[in-house]
Amino acid sequence: MTTVSEPLSAADGLNGLLRARRTEPAANPRLEALALAVTANLPVLLWGEPGIGKSSGLEQLASGLGLPLETVIASVHEPSDFAGLPVVGDDPATTGVPMAPPDWAVRLTRGGRGLVFFDELSSAPPAVQAALLRVVLERRVGSLALPEAVRVVAAANPPSSAADGWHLAPPLANRFVHLRWTHDARTVARGMTGVWPSVPTPTVDPAKVSSAVARARGAVSGFLTARPGLVHHMPSDAEARGGGWPSPRTWEMALRLLATAHAADASQEALSAALVGAVGDGAGLELLAYLDQLDLPDPDRVLADPGAFALPERGDRQLAFLTAVVSAVQGEPTRRRWEAAWKVLAKAVDAGVPDVAARAAADLAAMRDPGWAVPGDIDAFVDLLRLSGALTGS
């Protein structure tokens, strides 16, 4: 018996064939930067015109990471959808009034991990953006705390092309790594054949974690010591304040990106895009130029054989080098590594720049176990450390 649904069934089959796709490895710095920031568990905001694949990129990323994806269209929600709706219990005077979370937050909490995607963020009015602040910063939705393993990604269209678009408020904008999302004509043409680029997923090597953290701490601390004016600089115009700009919060984000990139061997292009997205174009490009010239050795290798490494000649590199070495000891504070670090710091004295090592010496002295003897290499810093109280009781 012929039914009217048969023609549509054939059409559905045709559409199914058109939706079938496969992926292939391909260099895509935008996808790599997104994957790097998500791996570092930093909130990411994708900026791009409508219809260029922001949502599909997120679907691929979630699939590649094995994470459940929850999509929330921010522009169609009320502030209470993120702050929670009050639920009156039997005795509110005693138990208070809890704020009920939405279903997507409950599902993510129940699963313990996932990726939540806030779409059309720039079309959300300021009151909704303000309610999202707590979700992004504190990972709280109503009375519910999202698990630490839940990643946050948002997407926005430029206000000029968004329906009822708004500039992002600076407090919200300063909590994201901002990535510019554009289309590549060749990638789209290839995609029309059913083949799209795969999303690379950075894998952090546990053996590199300690060294990666130490190198990142040394580099970012050394850069900000050399350029203190960039520690906090909020742009003057509204559009720039709605993007990435340097603040203590975003420098902490840059630190995490750099450490994750070192530990996962991320590409330079992906790291560059992510760092600029965190602290803005000006500060980000300065940091990248600084990193390009820094070339710090692996601090764990330095501690394994402190006599084999020479102190860098430039003052900013010396500070970054010593900060990285001390941070490596902090990550694995054994007596052998602690004593090796003093041999490294002693090279600053031999080079005639003990002031460069003064802060590192105070930090290193504070890590001393009461049972460890004071090494001879500490002699050059004794007066300084006694004044700071770091050698009290030794």
Per-residue pLDDT tens digits for 154-184: 988 876 655 556 778 888 899 999 999 887 8
pLDDT at 386: 57
pLDDT at 162: 53
Is the pLDDT score of 1 beyond 60? no
- Higher-confidence residue of 163 and 382: namely 382
Average model confidence (pLDDT) for the chain? Answer: 85
Please say whether the dihedral angle defined by the alpha carbons of residues 295, 298, 303 and 309, taken in this order, is positive or negative.
negative
User: CA 315, 320, 322 angle in degrees (round to 5)?
Assistant: 95
Residue 392 binned pLDDT confidence (cut-offs 50, 70, 90):
low
CA atoms of 380 and 364, how far apart (whole Å): 14
Is the pLDDT score of 89 beyond 70? no
- Higher-confidence residue of 75 and 45: namely 45
Average pLDDT over residues 124-137: 86
- Higher-confidence residue of 25 and 275: namely 275
Helix, strand or coil, per DSSP, at residue 107: helix
Is the pLDDT score of 384 beyond 70? no
Per-residue pLDDT reduced to its tens digit, 63-79: 888 899 999 998 888 88
Top mean-pLDDT range of 128-142, 216-230, 311-325: 216-230
Per-residue pLDDT reduced to its tens digit, 200-254: 788 999 999 999 999 999 999 989 988 899 999 998 887 888 899 999 999 999 9
CA atoms of 199 and 184, how far apart (whole Å): 15
Residue 278 binned pLDDT confidence (cut-offs 50, 70, 90):
very high
pLDDT at 308: 85
Answer yes or no: are the C-beta atoms of 134 and 118 closer than 8 Å. no
Is the pLDDT score of 380 beyond 90? no
Answer yes or no: are the C-beta atoms of 370 and 393 closer than 8 Å. yes
Average pLDDT over residues 303-319: 84
Is the pLDDT score of 100 beyond 60? yes
Domains of the chain (ranges; CATH) run: 44-89+96-175 (3.40.50.300), 295-394 (no CATH)
Looking from the CA of 238 toward its CB, the CA atoms found within 13 Å total: 6
Per-residue pLDDT reduced to its tens digit, 136-160: 888 888 888 999 999 999 988 876 6
Pairing outcome for strands 22-24 and 195-197: parallel
Per-residue pLDDT reduced to its tens digit, 13-28: 899 998 888 888 877 7
